[in-house]
Each structure stands twice: as C-alpha cells, then as structure tokens.
Amino acid sequence: MHPPVRLVAIDVDGTLLPSFTQTVSERNLRALQASQQAGIAVAIATGRRAAFAAPLLDGLGLRADTPLIASNGAVIQTLGGEIIACSHLPVRVARGLCGLLRPFGTVVFTFDRPGRGELVLEDLHGAQGRFPLWVEANRHAIEVVKPLEQALADGADPIQGMVAGRVSSMRQAEETLKASEWSGACERLRTEYLARDLSILDLLPRGVTKGSALERLAARLGVERAETLAMGDNWNDLEMLEWAGRSVIMGNAAPELRVLAKTRGWKQAPRNDEDGVAAVLEAILAKMAAAKV
C-alpha cells in the first residue's frame, strides 16, 4: 500500500498547460491550490528557464515558497525568487558542443544573468524559422554572437545549452553526441513535438535532470521517495518519472513514451487539454479526505 503523497512534481508544456494557450485552466488551478491547502508540496518542473516560466505562474495564488524546477533541473528556486540550487555547464564543454552540433540546427546557450544576453545564439533567422513564437516571447533576452564560441569566454559558464530543429535532425544530433568525446561530459534530454516536426535537445551539466532536481528537492523537504508523485508528457520528463515513487504519464504523450509507461507500471492521466493534472490531483485529495473520515 502506498503512503500518502506529500510532494507532486508537475511538468508545464503538454502537462499543466493546454496545447494552444499559455494560461493554466481554472480546473487545474483549483486543484493546485487545493493540494497546497491540503499540505501537499506542489513543484513545477519545466524545461523552460526560470525567467520564462515564472510569468506563467504569477497571479495564480500559489505560495511564494512553491518550488520551481527550471532549465530541466539546472535551476531550483521558489516562485518568490529564492535560489535553492543552480548548476552550470563548463565552458570548455559548451565550446566543444558548438562545433559538434551546429550542423544539426539552432544552438542556444542560457546564462545566469537577467536581460539581454541571458540567451545567446548566432543564427536568429534560423531560430525564427524553426520556433518563431519562442523568439518573439524571448526577444528581450536574446543576444546574437557570431561565432557562438565568442560568447563562451573563460569563466562564462552557461546554465545549459540546447539545439533545436526537425525531429529527425535532433535524433541524429543525439546519436552524434553519444558517439563523441563529449558524451560523458554533459546530460542530453530530448523533447519532441511531433505535430510540429520540432525537437529540442537540451544540453545540461553532468548529472543534472528533472529527476536529480526532484531527488534533491525531496531531501530538502524531508519527503521520502515513496511519498512523491511526478506527472509529465515528454522524454525530458523521463528521469523525473523514473525517480518518483509514483508516476503519471499524460494521455497526449508520444506513443513510444506511453508504451514505455506501461512497462514501468505508470498510470495514464487524461490529456492536457482535458485537465489531466486536475483529474490526478482531485483523486489524491479525495483519497486523503476519505482516509481522514
């Protein structure tokens, strides 16, 4: 029999958010608030950098100490802005990845500094062609540097890197990275949006994933692994789903990931557009209420 859930980690895009909006649904919001009121720690876990994720959560009535796992685990902070942990990709590794992955798509590095230069890339035109909405939303933070290696001076360690392009290109990029001298120097996490033929290969400090961040957060909160639950929909959620004591895959997840979920014994929630997060949280809260009675 499972112990009560004390910590829930929830992915954002494709999980908490509906497909075609950047607004959390009313039902999902009520479920988040009710979970916190019931004493469950709610953590938001996203591949987005903190400055890009936090505005989505402003005004939702969540507690200021709500944990935010950003940049796929490289940054852990609270919604109130308290930094819990921050990891960096060694600049030597970042330089090597530039040359290796440039042929496959748009390479971007994220730095730990506010405003312009937080995101650095060398091919703005290519980025606009591949993910125009991201460029427009982040234009104030983007700096163009050619060649990109010039932004990677000694001591300028980025938080993370990413290369984005077509799904087939990113799968090839991942295989190329696996076979390279840099394979063991960083973590690689792939996110795929098959309907848009868009994929992102995130490049993270060694040992950093959403799963490692969730483990670190649980230890900080004094929560046992068996008392954690994770919800996600994409490959960059895999380590988090594997670490959590209980895991839920969204109904809109990639078919291959849903098949894997069955072999792992993970539950499947309704789709993100059907408030799948709320459905899971409501069931947990109902079970807690029944246990008290």
* Fold category of 91-205 in CATH: 3.30.1240
Average pLDDT of the chain, as a whole number: 94
User: Burial, 145: exposed, middle or buried (Cβ in 10 Å; 0-12, 13-18, 19+)?
Assistant: middle
Give the separation between CA 187 and CA 149, rounded to whole angstroms: 20
**What CATH architecture does domain 7-86+208-292 belong to?**
3-Layer(aba) Sandwich (3.40)
Task: Answer for the pair 17, 272: CB distance below 8 angstroms, yes or no.
Answer: yes
Q: Is 153 helix (H, G, I), strand (E, B) or coil?
A: coil
First-last CA distance in the chain: 18
* pLDDT-derived band at 278, boundaries 50, 70, 90: very high
What integer pLDDT is reported at residue 195 of this predicted model? 84
- Residue extent(s) of CATH 3.30.1240.10 domains in the chain: 91-205
Give the separation between CA 143 and CA 135, rounded to whole angstroms: 11
pTM for the model = 0.92
The residue ranking higher by pLDDT, 177 or 54, is: 177
Q: 2-53: per-residue pLDDT in tens?
A: 889 999 999 999 999 999 888 999 999 999 999 999 999 999 999 999 988 9
Task: Answer for the pair 20, 282: CB distance below 8 angstroms, yes or no.
Answer: no
* pLDDT-derived band at 55, boundaries 50, 70, 90: confident
**Residue 276 to residues 18, 184, 264, 285: CA-CA distances in angstroms?**
10, 36, 19, 14
* pLDDT-derived band at 257, boundaries 50, 70, 90: very high
Task: Answer for the pair 191, 199: CB distance below 8 angstroms, yes or no.
Answer: yes
- Residue extent(s) of CATH 3.40.50.1000 domains in the chain: 7-86+208-292
What integer pLDDT is reported at residue 210 of this predicted model? 97
The H or E element containing residue 144 is strand 142-144
Residue 293 has pLDDT above 70, yes or no: no
